[in-house]
Chain A
Amino acid sequence: MSPLEDKLEAVVDEACKLGASYSEARIQRNMVASISSKNGVPINIEENVEEGLAVRVLVDGALGFSSTNNMDSDSISRCIREAVGRARASSRYMRKPISFSEAKLGSITYEVRGREPFDTYSVHDKISLHKSIYSSLKEALRKVELEVFSVEYTEMIEEKLVVNSDGGFVRSRIPRLAFKYNIVLRDPLKGSIQRVKEYGFSGGIEKLKEQRIDEKIEDESRRLEMVLLEGVKPPNGVVDVVIGSELVGLIVHESCGHPCEADRILGREAAQAGLSFIKPSMKGFDIGSKHATVVDDPTIPGSFGFYLYDDECVAARAKFLYREGVVEGFLHNRWTAHVFGVESNGSARARNYRSEPIVRMSNTYLTPGSYSFEELVEDVGEGVYISSYMEWNIDDERWNQRYVGLEAYRIVGGELKEPVRNPVLEITTKDFYSKMDAKGCRVMFEAGLCGKGEPMQGVPVWFGGPDVRLRGVKLGVSVL
């Protein structure tokens, strides 16, 4: 046993000796290196390292969490006493003591290895990608001014060792990579158009290369130039809408993934990230058409939300949240699983050593159908295709939502026509899934940091899906 493991075992034992019926100790190290640039010139490089101990306990039915990055024995003892003592003090206000479900816990070590680890390339090599994209954008954009091209390039390595009093032991190491950019195009007569987008993966730098991000950004910018210069108002009235996979992924994340978080359903996040339109008894609720099948799966190789065991040492797995138009299941940790009388499905995640593990999504997506993009469009008489978006939001029960298209086109007689500017899809969750009558055959994923918890924890996730077609939607238009 390594000294580190020994230390965690001792922490778990000590907490139990102090009266915890369950205790869990986690050492987590997050290492982040990033480069920020504007127009291909680096503003700064940055390196962040956070490493410390987290202790979580159940005492007299109350939950306590404490963390420290002072790793001397006095500080560790104090950390344990804080977790136990404060949990005990709060237990007198508990109406329904907290319990955890029984679970088969892992005893395992796993690691993601990139083919090209981050140190394969120098900072100079990495910044050259920012420069080459900027140069090609300047070359490609002939009719509008490229006002800003800024980039945040980030490498992350997350190392965790979790040990708990129920026998769980999980050691993991996951490298992740993110590339986020902001582009502003400007025309003296037409104004401006802005795009902020993020790519993210687990693995090494090869993931960035495989995506051919430089080509994608250049191609998209040419199209946005056309949207800015030639975009017209979207059609008024009820039309069919083909929604591109980028936006489908976001809608699924917001209107299925979040409301299916069991802790949210139970009200634990009511004052922060909010509630859910789904109530505990609504399993089986009719949410939409047969195409409404949504899965959350942390085990997708290369995904931004990848993990194999959660932070309660429960094995990760794919979960159906909506299945063929019906609410099928929820995201659970061991507490919510106990309340619902089910097994945890391994959805407890903690962002860093300062964070308690809470119920989170991982990679959430709408399953594919069988249509090609052309087939989705060819049956539309009058409609709009929304390929990408900028503005979005949703109410805290995850019912009433709004998305504003960025790159979008009119559809007439089954063909894509001129670009349209800022079409607004303001729709309820039920309407979105009910009006869906066809799905594309190819699932694409987008990356993001999903926020939840107090203090806020932003965890890496993918959200995805195929292109879909909605029938009979009333579109609006945003000011600009």
Chain B
Amino acid sequence: MSLLDISRSIVEEGLKAGFSEAACKIVSSRTVMVKFSGEPTVTQSWIDTCIHLYLAKDGRIALCEYRTPDVERMKRRLVDLHESAKLIEASPIYAPLPKPRRVRPLHLVDAKIVELMDDRSGLIDYAWMMIDEASGEGAENHAGALSASLSSKALTTSEGVELQEDSTGFECYLRAFSGDGSGQWAYGGRRLDEYSIREVGRRAGMYAYLSKRAEPIEPGVYDLILSPMIVGNIVNVIGDMASALQVYLGLSFLSRFKLGDRVASENVCIEDDGVSDNLPRSTGFDDEGIPTRVTTIISDGIFENLLHNSKTASKFSVESTGNAGWVKPEPWNLRFKPGDLKEDEIPSTLREGLILTNNWYTRLQSYVEGVFSTVARDAAFLVKDGRIVKAVRGLRITGSLHGLLSSVEYSTDRCYQIKWWEVEVPVVAPYILARRIYVSKPM
């Protein structure tokens, strides 16, 4: 049976069990990964099938995710699930599944990745190619990971949606070390792109070498250049908060604003992109069968849209943006639009400021107020009068998301496709300049 046949049969079982609506998404995937730290620490591979199920009756919603070889037992569970669903009230966000729409197929498969996955040495050879690039820049040690994947997705709904899509994916990141310094860079896409793999190694190695003798600096207010790695991490937080469900649940600073409000400086444009062929999470259709699209979240600093599925769209009296998640709308790939500043002009924008190249551990004191801090990681540099003076360390960015977005003055003209541990939703981002941001450290 094809994935579509199986998903169709599961939808039928859901309806037989007593539900009035059902949707079934099946993802069958194969993934390989090499993880290394100086040498390979582990090679991993996964061959997996996951069945996702949406069921509804009288506005009551049940979701299921089954990764099990026993599909028949899973089907039998649907009757019990129906009995459980009868015991709850209608969901406050319920809206019916949408009717089928025309979906434009995307070209998401790269045959080179399929070949690579069948070659057991292939991925590790690319890892060492990336490492060699970092070493060429002066890096002395390295850690990171590369992964490649091939997936098939089938979606059937009781409203008549029947869709299928194949895709490949490739991700890599490297953290390079030199003396006391370190640098990290990352890439994610749907194609095997040797230039980007090499560039990950080069940038990580370059930043490691340049930061090998870092010194502490005093906390205070600085102008900051934030690298695409950091922009990617912050935009991930904003993208999650742009999910209409997060606004509804009080987990978003955007809940304090109305569409049309200014939430950022005029230099900020953030959008969700579900359709660009080479972005790692692009897909032709969402979990309800709605075609994906490009949705502007913030345009020239103005709050334009939240991300919606049919349920949140109904709750907020707007149209779906094609971001289902049956209950929680999710961003596909996020994009911070570039500006016109050249990268080599970055230091000249700062009289006294910092260039920060990576971060991690972004946490919030209040989601609804957007108050946060995040720890600078890897290379950081102090700039005075347009020149890099020295490498620095031990810093933390603190403030509010609204404040940070409102202080963005420039962005560079080139974007990078970033995806790694701290950028789970892929982000296409440039370097940005944010004025007068508080940087703290232990007192």
Contact = CB atoms under 8 A, between A and B. Distances in A.
Interface of A: 29, 35-36, 38, 41-52, 62-72, 75, 78-79, 82-83, 85-91, 93-96, 122-124, 127, 147-148, 150, 182, 184, 191-194, 196, 266-274, 354, 356, 390-396, 400-402, 404, 406, 422, 424, 426-428, 431, 454-456, 474, 476, 478-480
Interface in B77-107: 77, 81, 84-85, 87-89, 91-93
Contact of B175 (A45, A122, A270, A400): A270
Interface in B392-438: 394, 396, 398-400, 403, 421, 438
Given A93-B39, A426-B442, 12 more contacts: A46-B64, A47-B65, A65-B44, A90-B34, A93-B124, A123-B85, A196-B367, A271-B184, A354-B48, A390-B363, A393-B396, A404-B373
Given A391-B365, A393-B396, A476-B440, A45 B67 contact: no
* Best-buried of A63, A127, A193, A478 by chain B (most CB within 10 Å): A478
Contact of A422 (B124, B327, B365): B365
A422 B373 CA distance: 13
B421 A78 contact: no
Given A93-B124, A94-B40, A41 B440 contact: no
Contact of A393 (B81, B177, B250, B375): B375
25 contacts: A42-B89, A43-B93, A52-B68, A63-B43, A68-B48, A71-B69, A89-B121, A91-B40, A96-B39, A124-B88, A267-B141, A271-B143, A274-B377, A356-B44, A390-B363, A393-B360, A393-B362, A396-B375, A400-B394, A426-B442, A427-B443, A431-B442, A479-B403, A480-B366, A480-B369
Nearest to B87: A124
A378 B364 CA distance: 32
3 pairs of A and B residues whose beta carbons are closest in the complex: A148-B250, A393-B361, A270-B143
A88 B120 CA distance: 9
B384 interface: no
Contact of A51 (B35, B70, B88, B399): B70
A476 B42 CA distance: 43
A194 B246 CA distance: 14
Interface of B: 32-49, 60-70, 74, 77, 81, 84-85, 87-89, 91-93, 120-121, 124, 128, 141, 143-145, 173-175, 177, 184, 248-251, 327, 360-369, 371-375, 377, 394, 396, 398-400, 403, 421, 438, 440-443
Contacts of A196: 367
Contacts of B74: 49
A12 to B, nearest CB: 18
Nearest to A263: B41
Given A38-B248, A44-B61, A274-B360, A391 B373 contact: yes
* Best-buried of B34, B43, B61, B174 by chain A (most CB within 10 Å): B43
Given A48-B64, A85-B120, A86-B120, A127 B88 contact: yes
Contact of A182 (B177, B251, B400): B251
Contacts of A64: 42-44
For the complex, would chain B's binding face be called helix, strand, loop or mixed by DSSP majority?
Answer: strand
Contacts of A82: 32, 45, 47
Contacts of A42: 60, 88-89, 91
Contacts of A478: 365, 371, 373, 398
A52 B49 CA distance: 10
A406 B369 CA distance: 14
Given A45-B88, A194-B367, A393 B65 contact: no
B366 A356 contact: no
A110 B372 CA distance: 43
Given A45-B84, A70-B69, A402-B396, A89 B120 contact: yes
A390 B366 contact: yes
A49 B67 contact: yes
A47 B225 CA distance: 44
A400 B374 CA distance: 12
Contacts of B47: 66-68, 70, 75, 78-79, 82
Contacts of B120: 85-86, 88-89
Nearest to B78: A47
A86 B43 contact: yes
Contacts of A52: 48, 67-69
B42 A89 contact: no
A407 to B, nearest CB: 13
Contacts of B121: 89
A449 B321 CA distance: 32
B442 A66 contact: no
Contact of A400 (B32, B49, B442): B442
A162 to B, nearest CB: 17
Nearest to B41: A268
A38 B174 contact: no
Contacts of B248: 38
A12 B398 CA distance: 51
A123 B88 contact: yes
Contacts of A393: 360-363, 373-375, 396
A254 B188 CA distance: 30
A33 B294 CA distance: 34
B360 to A, nearest CB: 6
Contacts of B441: 400, 426
Given A46-B62, A192-B368, A65 B249 contact: no
Contacts of A67: 45-48
B48 A93 contact: no
Nearest to A86: B43
* Best-buried of B45, B92, B403 by chain A (most CB within 10 Å): B45
A122 B99 CA distance: 34
A52 B41 CA distance: 23
Nearest to B48: A69
Given A194-B250, A480-B366, A454 B35 contact: yes
Contacts of A271: 37, 143-145, 173-175, 184, 421
